[in-house]
Structure 1
Amino acid sequence: MTVKLPEAFEKRMQHMLGEEFEPFLASYEKERYYGLRVNTLKAPVGEFLELSPFRLSPIPWCREGFYYNGEERPGKHPYYYAGLYYIQEPSAMSPVELLDVRPGDRVLDVCAAPGGKSTQIAAKLQGQGVLVSNDNSADRVKALVKNIELFGVRNAAVLNETPNALGRVFGGYFDKILIDAPCSGEGMFRKDEDMIRSWSPESVQTCVVLQKDILDAAAVLLAPGGRMVYSTCTFAPEENEARIADFLDRHPHFEVVPIPDAWGFAQGRPEWIMESRQGIEGFSGRAAEAVKGTARLWPHCIEGEGHFVAVLQHKGEGLGIEADPASGRERTSGRGNGGKKPAQTETEREDIISRFFAEMGFPDLPGKLVFFGDFAYLAAAGLPDLSGLKVARPGWYIGNIKKNRFEPSQALAMGLRAQEAVRSVSFTADSLEVVRYLKGETLQLEKDEIAVRDTGVSAKGYCLVCVDGYPLGWGKWIDGLLKNEYPPGWRWIW
């Protein structure tokens, strides 16, 4: 593999790295590394490894992460469509590992699309607490929503806002915040040559302005004593060490939590920030010394692409405005029914959903029922009033009401477990039936092929379709036919 690097970039890296430049340059002649991360919302790591048809080896900094051979194409396997894993570059798994998310935390992913790190956070929350996944790009939010739903996340809200706008609602609300900042992308040159074509020295300075604003906005959102992780996939000191030093000097209530010297990660380089353009402003000795505790992931030192990570801890002084977690009202500018008034009252819609849930034998599902028109969601407990924000999903999208009936969503199916539905059918991963289902075809099935959990329940009706016991979506069985309810936008295209 031969990668043609930009001349200005190559000269800068040679100056920065000195004797390390030749090993760094040689890494671009090697094949990139491929990784996937097991979705522990659906299967423990050991359970997945027993099922996995792939040759996997562990990624040292992520217990759920594994290298795979790029020729195996796990994105074309039924387990991918069941959300059993997320395909993710190995180095990109490190920021969430350093965020130290615990079940019950309130967590914000500021620049979340397409959703890899949000799904990693969700797995660590294990359905407890609140995840707010935000991205300011309306187009990228579509991919974020799909990945959250594919992963079966029940306790996430998805927003389409600028970081500054979040302060109106979420001041001092979050225990943990991830800033996977927009950057010049130098660390991804080996993975994606389009990043090389779009790079210029000016792009670095454009990103610096964005990064500064995002860090400042996020600082207002973090609760006293909370933790914030800042990461990029670039090598430029202006976007890395200089950004952290500048932030520390302007926010003295934050400090760097040193990242352990492990896994081949290298220390941050304070001497480089004085050579960057930002260095002419000068940084305090405290700030410059602190950036030694940040980490650089170099492609010639680890099996992964280039990354920078900094862990920032709020020392505990109060900041900003307080959110009101007791409020339950939400508003969206995205989904709804075109402004039309629903045919039923809210109580009538709740009754329709309750009857469907009882008929399907669902347990008490978590969250507060929220309606936007005829679309129904379960919002995570403790989520504040989202009025005035652009909301793609205020919670787990469970379905919508058409006339006097409830139609369950694909997101509801993906967030369930097979045993939570009164009717299910499971195909093996190597079967023709599972491929036909994922392609949207109607299937012929005998009545005794439908697993009915409770005695006296008819096989007729909505049925949870699974692969090896893991949900893929809905079907509707009647008189020997399983009508396919798999969404067109999700279907397997060969």
Structure 2
Amino acid sequence: MSHGPLPLRALAAQVLLAVEQGQSLSQCLPPAQARVADQERGELQALCYGSCRWFHRLDAELQGRLKRPLRKQDRIVHQLMLVALFQLRFSQQATYAVLNETVEACRALGKPHLTGLVNGVLRKAEREGEPAPIRPEIELSHPDWMVAKLQHNWPDDWQDILTANNVQAPMTLRVNRRQIARDDYLDRLRATGIDAAATPHAPHGIQLAHPVPVDRLPGFVDGTASVQDEAAQLCTSLLDLAAGQRVLDACAAPGGKTCAILESCEGLAEVVALDQSPERLARIDENLDRLGLDARVLAADAADTAQWWDGQRFDRILLDVPCSASGVIRRHPDIKLLRREDDITPLAAIQLRLLEALWPTLAPGGRLVYATCSVFPQENHRIIQRFLKLQPEARLLQPDVAWGRDMGQGRQLLPQPDGHDGFFYAVLIKHDE
């Protein structure tokens, strides 16, 4: 293997192989980016995200072009050709550069005996163009199980959901209302040459016409704004916060919603932010520090209340449960490779367990907001249905809002190409005892 620095395409192939073996992009991409010059990190990210986004479509084409699959020890070359196909099909990169540099990357990966195959397959792919997809799930580049599930759950919307999942998500901000009004911050953005507009549903949200590095955002370092999708921002209005309340954010990392809670209501008695992962708790602390906010941050399993709860009940609980993340695939295209159909039932069990465990910690008359970034009913309104049967003192509140679809037991937002992510919310009230 070459001892010099690996070419970008070779690094992208290594990242893609790591994802195929079960690592998330957030785990395996940063170490790869650390190996390239600062100005190349964005390009490496675009290669990796794009190759994951279109993986199923590209893989179907590549398999059709190979007479036989590569040996397991040469799988990295399969990924390298996928990266090259991504560039041929979806980028403006010059064809000769893709072909020549991919062959060089193959050599750098210690696979010189496969350079002829790589060159032949890619030249033929370039000459013949992309074959017509056999099935819509191939064209829309999602795993078969996910397409089937969406077709079943959303017979009128499944193609729109798949299409939205393949569009790069917009950059959306939450303005810190303690520091500045949304309209005033919009003026500051425009004065900086950043084109932006108010979000239609979140009262403190702003969507940028084009993503920018956060250091270009006026006042970002001082906590004037944070990056947060519009759908995720909607939790604060559903919580109906008021001064003096004790609030729990039960699965809090990386802390965006904790900070939104603190920003949206001054004078809260206490905000407790829980998460199981000590590493992810550090992100909550970073966000709180930047925004100049205070919360009690605890590392604990929210469902194990004996471990962390002091017996004092909460007036408000936000329960943003672990889920399939099927509503945020456009932000995390590796979900298409990482998530399995048999993940959903265990996730639903965790979701119901968290609801049942936290319910006793809610004060009479208090409200619990259940949230997921999923579009699968099994994790959403069906969990609320099951819970309401188990808890006679729980009452569903139908919020008077203009967003999402009424599912009977909560509201579902589907991902919008030019708007918010896919999200689900349900509001539960505890009867006075």
TM range (shorter): 0.5 to 0.7
3-state SS of paired residue (1:92): helix
State, as a whole percentage, how many aligned pairs show the same letter. 28
C-alpha distance in 2 between matches for 1:300 and 1:14: 17
In structure 1, the partner of 2:391 is 251
Q: Is the 8 A contact 1:102 1:125 kept in 2?
A: yes
How much does 1:261 deviate?
Answer: 5.1
C-alpha distance in 1 between matches for 2:149 and 2:283: 35
In structure 2, the partner of 1:298 is 414
Higher helix share: 2
C-alpha distance in 2 between matches for 1:24 and 1:193: 13
**Which amino acid in 1 is paired with 2:209?**
N
Q: Is the 8 A contact 1:33 1:90 kept in 2?
A: no
Match of 1:74 among 211, 214, 218: 214
Matches of residues 183-194 of structure 1 in structure 2 within 5 Å? 183-194=323-334
C-alpha distance in 2 between matches for 1:307 and 1:44: 26
Matches of residues 226-245 of structure 1 in structure 2 within 5 Å? 226-245=366-385
Task: Give per-residue Cα distances to partners, 1:389-438, cap 9 Å, x unaligned.
Answer: xxxxxxxxxxxxxxxxxxxxxxxxxxxxxxxxxxxxxxxxxxxxxxxxxx
In structure 2, the partner of 1:40 is 177
Q: Is the 8 A contact 2:231 2:422 kept in 1?
A: yes
Q: Is the 8 A contact 1:259 1:293 kept in 2?
A: no
How much does 1:170 deviate?
Answer: 3.9
Matches of residues 77-96 of structure 1 in structure 2 within 5 Å? 77=217, 79-96=219-236
C-alpha distance in 2 between matches for 1:132 and 1:210: 21
Q: RMSD of aligned C-alpha atoms?
A: 2.1
Matches of residues 101-250 of structure 1 in structure 2 within 5 Å? 101-154=241-294, 156-167=295-306, 169-171=309-311, 173-250=313-390
3-state SS of paired residue (1:71): coil
**1:11 is aligned to 2:145:** no
3-state SS of paired residue (2:153): helix
Q: Is the 8 A contact 1:294 1:310 kept in 2?
A: yes
3-state SS of paired residue (1:188): coil
C-alpha distance in 2 between matches for 1:117 and 1:71: 21
TM-score, length of structure 1 as denominator length: 0.56
How much does 1:58 deviate?
Answer: 1.3
In structure 2, the partner of 1:316 is 432
In 2 relative to 1, CA 78–262 (structure 1 residues): closer, same or farther, beyond 3 Å?
closer
How much does 1:293 deviate?
Answer: 4.1
C-alpha distance in 2 between matches for 1:76 and 1:90: 20
How much does 1:181 deviate?
Answer: 0.4
Question: How many residue pairs are counted as aligned between the two chains?
Answer: 292
Q: Is the 8 A contact 1:61 1:97 kept in 2?
A: no
Q: Is the 8 A contact 1:138 1:160 kept in 2?
A: yes
C-alpha distance in 1 between matches for 2:424 and 2:388: 17
How much does 1:129 deviate?
Answer: 2.0
Unmatched tracts of structure 2, length 5 or more: 1-49, 55-140
Q: Is the 8 A contact 2:229 2:420 kept in 1?
A: yes
Unmatched tracts of structure 1, length 5 or more: 269-291, 318-494
Q: Is the 8 A contact 2:327 2:373 kept in 1?
A: yes
TM-score, length of structure 2 as denominator length: 0.63
C-alpha distance in 2 between matches for 1:6 and 1:186: 12
How much does 1:302 deviate?
Answer: 7.6
3-state SS of paired residue (1:40): coil
